[in-house]
Amino acid sequence: MSVPAVKAAALVDRKPPVHMRIDELRVNYRVAAGYLKAVDGVSLEVRPGETIGLVGESGCGKSTVAKAILRLLPEDARVEGRILLDGEDVLRMSNKELRRIRWTKLAFITQSAMNSLDPVYRIGDQIVESILAHENVGKEQAWRRAEELFTLVGIKPARLKDYPHQFSGGMRQRAVIAMALSLNAGLLLADEPTTALDSIMQDQVLARIRRLQEELSRSMILVTHDMAVVAETCQTLAVMYAGKIIETGPVADVLTNPFHPYTMGLRNAFPRIDDERRQLISIPGNLPSLLDPPRGCRFASRCPFRTERCTREEPALLKVGERQFSACHYPDQAGEFRARAEERRTWDRVDPMLRAASAAGGGP
Amino acid sequence: MAPMRKKTHSPAANTGPRPAGSPTDFVIAATGLKKHFTIGGGIIASLLGRPARVVKAVDGVDIAIRRGEVFGLVGESGSGKSTLGMTLVRVHRPTSGTIRFRGEEVTNAKGKALKAYRRHAQVIFQDPYGSLNPRLTVAQLVEEPLKIHGLRDQGERAMRVIEALERVLMPPADYLHRFPHELSGGQRQRIAIARAIVLEPQFIVADEPVSMLDVSVQAGILELLKRLSDELGLAVLYVSHDIATVRYICNRVAVMHYGRFVEHGDVRKVTARPAHPYTKRLMAAVPSVDPTTKRKRVTLSEEEVPGEEALQAERQWVEIEADHFVASTP
């Protein structure tokens, strides 16, 4: 299977992996009640060839970051900051410049990619169209490239002549991955690429993405709620909560030695197949309102280790390891927190705290 | 593999997850259950000479669930697990086989008998965003099933609503007058569960109840289901493609593939020592959050996992250890 991969890569102009830097990105959505601060000061760097997993739960702002990179935010969204692709700011590009970078520097796979294929055209024609629109090649050559890509994602090339409804969900998802790879863009942005698939299909699609990544070595951002997917696919992990990155670093470091209580909680909430004894623990409470975010740490209301300082003072991202950063006031106590976070009674304490706070009229 | 306590028996006689005990222990029990769908075969298709095709979504399943037992049903999309659940609660009428609810046959129940059965057999769906009417308040949503099933006394209805909300840990005073859009996904799913238990059913099918929820709230919902099963003596069929969550709440599990069970038994035994190639493949597909354990990526090719035809030949259960059965070719 690796033979066609090399061939496919050779058929496409090899574009160098992209360097991306996000500086202080802020995105506010206008809603009836005011401005919703969906992303609030996010900075992130993707070095050429690096794969980053952007992880968080619904409402944390991860998809908004992805949309900002693609310039697909609604028009009334207020966007501040910079998103530099090889030094050029995407947020300030004209439509013409955007067309130039989309698919060549920046390719993306959406969450419901299976629905992003046009039902009335053959899948092969759709892939060929995207190649012809961006590269100076003949139709025959483009079709050949599409055949190679299908082999690469594990679909028989003959099925390029099928219509989308003839494919299963997993096959359509893989077809869209083939399409996203068709121009060998320098940065691949995948937003929940496997969420709609069952676990066997997810495993196959991820294995493909991972192998392509190894063979073609381009930069990648994987946006997902699933830490386990990131653990197996990415080098770097960035955890988002309520519009901010609260912890980031090499995947293995963050997962074995998390410094932020939210990361600890998220890790414990994951069902594991390989550890019999471990309890599944959920994090009590809900995301704070992003219309009027709390003053201090945004996780404070749900954090079993919070102190008075946490509700008053916002923690900055502090360096806690070689390349690991965490936004908690108490990095020195992380070891103790980790041990206690594995016990259910630690998190059970949060609920009464939440109730007391809401009875007192303050709180979440 | 564990020493083979080879004890075989033909599935026609007695197969399926059926632990020892008298038949009345079982809340729900089905034998030889089949549900086939015919695709095509309409007027236009037959004029064009296209033959009708039969999809065997459920193709010969024996299953029995006891009071207070959470039974896990796993398999990939298209394995027939949801169809099996929907057939057991009689959303579908089975093609053949029998379904018994507390010993009484409901296989072909209609009209009043069917309505009476459905009062005892409830469903919790995957999508709490789609399954709750956005125009109704929490109080109305939870009350609705009581009205449908003819509980006329308004005072009693209100009492039952409050009790159900307390059971799912949604303080009634805070939530009675809220609308679904004011609730998070996890809270909505709790309301869906309250709707299911308000009729005091004895059997609940929970079809992927947490797969659309955030990870941090999934554990809470799973535990709630388990606790309700204990407290109320509910028989719960937990349907999921994720074998990792099954281990946390189920007592027993069956693995489904092409409309049949390929392995079943005690959940700890099946997940610790999976014996059927398909079960192994399902287990191997679960990613791990622990970066230190490099999981063994099982590269079972399509050929190693029996296909549909091979499965039809697999007609014998082998008990490889106590309460752990694997389908095999005779």
Stretch B208-226: mean pLDDT, rounded? 88
Closest by Cβ to A199, choosing from B248, B271, B285? B285
User: Which two tokens mark A155?
Assistant: 């679909």
**Nearest-Cα residue of chain A relative to residue B278:** A200
Q: Which of B222, B271, B273, B289 to mutate to test the interface with A (most CBs of A within 10 A)?
A: B289
Which one of B217, B287, B293 has the shortest CB-CB distance to A282? B217
Name the B residues in 8-27 with CB < 8 Å from any A CB: none
Mutate to test the interface with A, among B126, B187, B214 (most CBs of A within 10 A): B214
Q: What pLDDT score does B86 carry?
A: 95
For residue A265, give the nearest of B216, B271, B287 by CB distance: B216
Cβ atoms of B94 and B107 within 8 Å: the answer is: yes
Which among A200, A282, A284 is the nearest to B218, CB-wise?
A282
pLDDT in tens, B58-73: 999 999 999 999 999 9
Within 8 A by CB and 6+ apart from A225, the residues are A55, A56, A57, A58, A192, A195, B214, B215
pLDDT(A364) > 60: no
Q: Measured between beta carbons, which residues in chain A are less than 8 angstroms from residue B295?
A: 232, 274
pLDDT value at position B312?
62
Interface A–B counts its CB contacts (< 8 A) at: 112
Q: Is it the case that residue A363 has pLDDT exceeding 50? A: no
The pLDDT tens digits for A19-53 are: 999 999 999 998 888 899 999 999 999 999 899 99
pLDDT tier, A8 (very low <50, low <70, confident <90, very high otherwise): very low
Per the CB < 8 Å rule, is A199 touching B243? Answer: yes
pLDDT score, position A14 = 63
User: Which tokens belong to B37?
Assistant: 């769908």
> Could B244 and A206 be called an inter-chain contact, meaning their C-beta atoms sit closer than 8 Å?
no
Instruction: Please give the order of strands across the beta sheet that includes B104-105.
Output: B53-66, B26-39, B96-101, B104-105
* CA nearest to A273, candidates A346, A203, A347: A203
Model pLDDT for residues A53-107, shown as the tens digit of each residue: 999 988 899 999 999 999 989 888 999 999 999 999 999 999 999 988 887 789 8
CB B235 within 8 A of CB B202: yes
Q: Which residues of B fall within a CB distance of 8 Å from A203?
A: 284-287
Tell me the two tokens of residue B206: 């929970």
For residue B132, the Cα-to-chain-centroid distance in whole angstroms is 20
- Confidence band for A197, pLDDT divided at 50, 70 and 90: confident
Query: What pLDDT, on a 0 to 100 scale, did the predictor assign at position A344?
Result: 86
- Contact assignment for A276 to B281 by CB distance below 8 Å: no
Q: ipTM of this predicted complex?
A: 0.71
- How many Cα atoms are found within 13 Å in the side-chain-facing hemisphere of B110? 1
* Residue B298 clears pLDDT 60, i.e. is over it: no
Q: How far is CA B186 from CA A125, A298, B26, B170, B213, in A?
A: 42, 20, 31, 11, 6
B301 in reach of chain A (CB within 8 A) = no
- The arithmetic mean of pLDDT across residues B234-254, rounded, is 91
Residue % of chain A over a pLDDT of 70: 90
Contact B225, B209 (CB under 8 A): yes
CA atoms within 13 A on the CB side of A25: 29
More confidently predicted of A314 and A171: A314
Report CB contact under 8 Å: A201, B76. yes
Task: Provide the pLDDT for residue B269.
Answer: 93
Q: What percent of chain B has pLDDT over 70?
A: 85
> Which position has the higher pLDDT, A264 or B292?
A264
Q: How far apart are CA B111 and CA A34, in angstroms?
A: 53
Tell me what pLDDT residue B329 has: 67
Q: Which residue has the higher pLDDT, A236 or B12?
A: A236
Asked if B242 reaches chain A (Cβ–Cβ under 8 Å), the answer is yes
CA A191/CA A108 separation, integer angstroms: 8
Record the pTM.
0.81
A125-162 pLDDT tens trace: 999 998 888 888 899 999 998 998 888 777 889 999 99
Region B305-326 average pLDDT? 77
Give the residue on B whose Cα is nearest the Cα of A230: B289
Residues of B in contact with A280 (CB under 8 A): 218-219, 222-223, 248
Angle made by CA atoms A312, A314, A317, in degrees to the nearest 5:
155
Q: Determine whether the interchain pair B287/A229 forms a contact, defined as Cβ–Cβ distance below 8 Å.
A: yes
Helix (H/G/I), strand (E/B), else coil: A269 = coil
Torsion of the alpha carbons at A66, A71, A77 and A79, rounded to the nearest 10: 80
Look up residue A246 and give its two tokens.
């609260």
List pLDDT tens digits, range B120-149: 999 999 888 888 999 999 999 999 999 999
Chain B residues lying within 8 Å of A284, measured CB to CB: 220
Q: Give the Cα separation of B290 and A337 in Å (integer).
A: 18
Contact B215 A57 (CB under 8 A): yes
Nearest CB partner across the interface for B219, out of A231, A255, A269: A269
pLDDT reported for residue B243: 85
DSSP state of B105: E
Chain-chain contact of A274 with B287 (C-beta, under 8 angstroms): no
Query: In terms of CA atoms, which chain A residue is nearest residue B270?
Result: A273
| Average pLDDT value over all residues in chain B | 85
List the one residue out of A221, A209, A222, A161 whose CA is nearest residue A181.
Answer: A209
Residue that the structure tokens 């929907």 belong to: B86
Highest average pLDDT, of A113-122, A215-224, A267-276, B179-188, comes from B179-188
Percentage above 90 pLDDT, chain A = 48
Instruction: Determine whether the interchain pair A206/B283 forms a contact, defined as Cβ–Cβ distance below 8 Å.
Output: no
